[in-house]
Structure 1
Amino acid sequence: MGLSWKERVFMALLGAATISGLTVLILILVQATYVLLPADNKFGIVFDAGSSHTSLFVYQWPADKENNTGVVSQALACQVEGSGISSYTSDPAQAGESLKGCLKEALALIPKAQHQETPTFLGATAGMRLLSQKNSSQARDILAAVSRVLGQSTLDFWGAEILAGKDEGAFAWVTINYILGMLIKYSSGEWIQPAEGTLVGALDMGGASTQISFVPGVPILDQSTQVTFRLYGANYSVYTHSYLCYGRDQVLNRLLVGLVQRSPQALVHHPCYHSGYQTTVPLASLYESPCIHTMVPMNLTQNLTVLGTGNPEACVAVIQELFNFSSCKGQRDCAFDGIYQPPVQGQFYAFSNFYYTFSFLNLTSRQPLGTVNATIREFCQRPWKLVEASYPGQERWLQDYCASGLYILTLLLQGYGFSEDTWPNIKFQKQAGDMDIGWTLGYMLNLTGMIPAEAPAQWRAQSYGIWVAAVVFVVLTLVAILGAVAVQLFWRQD
């Protein structure tokens, strides 16, 4: 006896469902390919504990990295309230407490699940270098206080240290070249290394020290001034030197002390201050810094009256006395104070106090050296009352811009060896690519080389055409199955 119509239709639909389902399975198993999902972001935190203030920076980079170095971007910048940590000698615990506000902002930004794997480092610069020379136990107490606060957080605390001036300068060099795309850049869908010869130098000036870093065109003869990096698979050899006591604040203090030594009276005429300017300074405060090596006056309790004379030529003369140019003794590769330096080469970025001073004087537009000289000297000769009226609300540093401007010219031209021909190679800038220029980003880039990379996650996927075909066969399978069920349930037997 043959199959009925119902049975034949049922078997046909069941067979179609089976074939269609097998086709879907084959498409999934045979045509599937693996795709890489974007890597998770890693985070890192660096505190820059400078002589005048502390800043926190949060950086992030994809976990898979490029040639063992992270492609780092700035996620947060936070300025800590109060002065630099070196000022908390009488209350070291407060140095740690001062960090909590910015630390809270960083913790809110970074996913909680990643807190324990986020490296956190505090680097103290020239202010703490000076304090360590003056009173090492006070410096240790302050570092211990900030370490307690950061160590009690949920972060992976790597330590609080006094950063060597050499490292500060070298990491700043890494920062500026990375931001400008000189170490790695994105082109045609991939990360590539730019052609050699495009690297720029870094000129940094804080309150207590100043740094110069660049890749010279000749071999570096003094190994103590050389720092090497391996970034994105390439090796770099950088000349760098940090001059302690040549930062802006320390130079201004040394300048005034030098004038005091010339005038035994309690009245000092200051050529770098505007005519008509007058201030009173506690004499003892001038001799607190380890940068002062002159004989201390007998009566430190008296106050010093300082009168401005507004004489730029006399100001330059006393500034030059802060340098020991004769110590080079005719050596060609020598800056000042007997320090080895190869000839400057290429473009330079000048930031921090270089930028702040020249920005105030409206000299950040690559003006010729003659224009810069004339502008600073004209400003120095303005009467104090006119200067005060021209810059309301800027009283805190207003009297110091004349000295700072002339000091920068002396340092760059007579100290580092820039000339009228190479002056246009210096660019005064605070930021590049919306990122702050300083040592912290360079430090984090170098640090990423010590953090293991994570391979991107894999996921099985099909091409669009295969995906569409699979969907069609799934629909056909469902239709056939539903048809078979309908035949079984609703088709009456003859």
Structure 2
Amino acid sequence: MALSWMLAHPAPVLFIYHWTTTKANKTGVITECSSCVVPGPGISSYSDSPQKVGKSLDTCLNWAQKRIPPEQHSQTPLYLGATTSTRQLNLSHPTFSDDLLAALTVALKSTPFDFQGAQILSSLNKEVFNWIAVNYVLENFFKYDWQGHLVPSGKGMAGVLSMGGTSTQLTSGEEGNQAPKEGVRLQLYGRTHNVYIQHCPCHGTDQLRRRLLSMLIQDQKSAKTVSNPCWPLTYSQEVRWQSVHAGPCAASDDASDIPGPDEVFNITGSSNPSACVTLVHSLLNSSSSSCSFLTHSLSSAVKPLQTRFLVISEAMDFLRKSVPSPDLGQAVNKICGMSVEELVQESQTSLDVAADYCFVTAFIFHLGTKGYTLDFDKSVQTAFREIGDPSSGWTLGYLLSLTNTIPQDSPGVLKGIEPGVWSLLLILFVVLLTGSFMRISYRVMVKENSFSNRNSSVFDDN
């Protein structure tokens, strides 16, 4: 059994993972997942009193203590992990970051579990853990035979395209000839896996939105009302120029077209799928695009990777659920043609979030035109839901990698073991500081302008 914390916007979540007592070639086999959402405000509400943050975890910690047999509490290792947003907060305001992590550490040490310390995970590690999780739930590492024994699956490994708020990453076991890339070597389920990550800054959903709006404003010159083909009809926002054209990701091909920083534009949706695709193609093929895997063509010297990629994105989850056809062109027409009412009803999320599904789908469609194979199968989403959640997939991968260091019990049939014989447990407390710590960082150090009448952007930093 394992617990995994995900402190994210809008509220922290505690996951409990269960696994069997034995291993498959020295790596754990996780069988189910449950979760607890922390009640009350998010972590960002403790910016003025970080010492109180630990108290907010009590409800879910008590829940975990009740689910884990008392006699096993002291034998249960507890880990604290943090990702990119924590590192960024540490750079911008290290004292405050230290205070938050120290308060969380104190809270975890006070539990009956065996706290093993904290680790700040690199961006590369997070993507590798995503890759592990995806291939685990797809049973690409192993499968069960008819007797319930684990055997090699014989299948190839899937890749992962993860879209964060500021960047996009492509992770696969195929090296290819694209640059820049990073690589790691993993030992999982008795095999060595070389995993490569291509990082694409400024191509996350938030930054792509800003760049797209910036391009629209410049293309339509002096118009104060700007048409956006990627937004649904009747949806609009008042946007200050500085809010979409600031920071390292901002780019302009013609300085004469740049409005004043305080100029405000009314961006209005026109719901035009073909125009949105053209706009996204233009954006991604422009000189400001820093991603080689987005700009090459099938006939170029740099070839697309032949791996089948699972896209980790809220928009892709919605697309799988809403569009029966695996044709990405039809998916763009469907999503980009939805009304405001349809988006809100079918997505079960806020309109400000759902309004961006069209351009994200167009972005994914663009990758398809570059020769990438993107997994549209709904069974992928179903498999993830059975073991966890795509947005927290890296925590599953992190846990699986940690099981290499945990002793195993005597071997046996791995499928169908009753919970009563799960003698060794692990708590993995993984802090995913996606929106929460970034929002704290903004409140403490950064006063960046954002869209008027809209909540601060979600930064799922990768």
TM-score (norm 1): 0.65
- Confirm or deny: 8 A CA contact 2:158 2:307 kept in the other structure: yes
**Partner amino acid for 1:192?**
L
- 2:115 corresponds to which residue? 157
- 1:397 corresponds to which residue? 350
Query: How far apart in 1 are the matches of 2:288 and 2:318?
Result: 29
- 2:61 corresponds to which residue? 103
Pick the aligned partner of 2:377 from 427, 432, 445.
Answer: 427
Query: How far apart in 1 are the matches of 2:356 and 2:203?
Result: 13
Pick the aligned partner of 2:361 from 389, 408, 411.
Answer: 408
Q: Helix, strand or coil: the match of 2:405? A: coil
- 1:231 aligned onto 2:183: no
- 1:205 corresponds to which residue? 163
Does the C-alpha gap of structure 1 residues 388 and 412 become closer, same or farther in structure 2, counting only changes over 3 Å? closer
Query: How far apart in 2 are the matches of 1:188 and 1:393?
Result: 39
Q: Helix, strand or coil: the match of 1:349? A: strand
- 1:172 aligned onto 2:130: yes
Give the alignment of 1:312-351 within 5 angstroms: 312-320=273-281, 323=284, 326=287, 334-336=292-294, 343-351=304-312
- Confirm or deny: 8 A CA contact 1:279 1:306 kept in the other structure: yes
- Confirm or deny: 8 A CA contact 1:51 1:128 kept in the other structure: no
Query: How far apart in 1 are the matches of 2:41 and 2:282?
Result: 30
Query: How far apart in 2 are the matches of 1:335 and 1:345?
Result: 12
Cα root mean square deviation, aligned:
4.2
Give the alignment of 1:187-206 within 5 angstroms: 187-189=145-147, 191-206=149-164
Larger displacement relative to structure 2 (432-441 or 312-321): 312-321
| Aligned residue pairs, count | 398
- 2:408 corresponds to which residue? 453
Output one character per residue of 1:251-293: Cα deviation in whole Å (capped at 9) or x when no partner. 3344445556676787654343233323346777668977668
Q: Helix, strand or coil: the match of 2:293? A: coil
- 1:367 aligned onto 2:326: yes
TM-score (norm 2): 0.69
Larger Rg: 1
- Confirm or deny: 8 A CA contact 2:181 2:199 kept in the other structure: no
Give the alignment of 1:269-280 within 5 angstroms: 269-280=227-238
**Partner amino acid for 2:387?**
M
- Confirm or deny: 8 A CA contact 1:51 1:127 kept in the other structure: no
- Confirm or deny: 8 A CA contact 1:275 1:309 kept in the other structure: yes
- 1:310 aligned onto 2:271: yes
- 1:417 corresponds to which residue? 370
Instruction: Give the C-alpha shift of residue 211 in structure 1.
Output: 3.1
Output one character per residue of 1:132-157: Cα deviation in whole Å (capped at 9) or x when no partner. 55544444443333333223322233
- Confirm or deny: 8 A CA contact 2:165 2:207 kept in the other structure: yes
Larger displacement relative to structure 2 (89-98 or 427-436): 89-98
Pick the aligned partner of 1:92 from 40, 50, 54.
Answer: 50
Does the C-alpha gap of structure 1 residues 146 and 240 become closer, same or farther in structure 2, counting only changes over 3 Å? same
- 1:146 aligned onto 2:104: yes
Instruction: Give the C-alpha shift of residue 441 in structure 1.
Output: 1.2
- Confirm or deny: 8 A CA contact 2:230 2:358 kept in the other structure: no
- 1:388 corresponds to which residue? 341
Output one character per residue of 1:94-142: Cα deviation in whole Å (capped at 9) or x when no partner. 6544433322222221122222332333444454455455544444443
Does the C-alpha gap of structure 1 residues 284 and 52 become closer, same or farther in structure 2, counting only changes over 3 Å? farther
- Confirm or deny: 8 A CA contact 1:204 1:212 kept in the other structure: yes
- 1:440 corresponds to which residue? 395
Output one character per residue of 1:30-86: Cα deviation in whole Å (capped at 9) or x when no partner. xxxxxxxxxxxxx32222334555332222333442322112223422333467646
- 1:72 aligned onto 2:30: yes
Q: Percent identity?
A: 31
Pick the aligned partner of 1:121 from 55, 75, 79.
Answer: 79
Does the C-alpha gap of structure 1 residues 84 and 427 become closer, same or farther in structure 2, counting only changes over 3 Å? farther
Query: How far apart in 2 are the matches of 1:135 and 1:288?
Result: 21
Query: How far apart in 2 are the matches of 1:90 and 1:303?
Result: 33
Instruction: Give the C-alpha shift of residue 449 in structure 1.
Output: 0.6
Output one character per residue of 1:193-225: Cα deviation in whole Å (capped at 9) or x when no partner. 325443222233344443332222x66786952
**Partner amino acid for 2:209?**
L
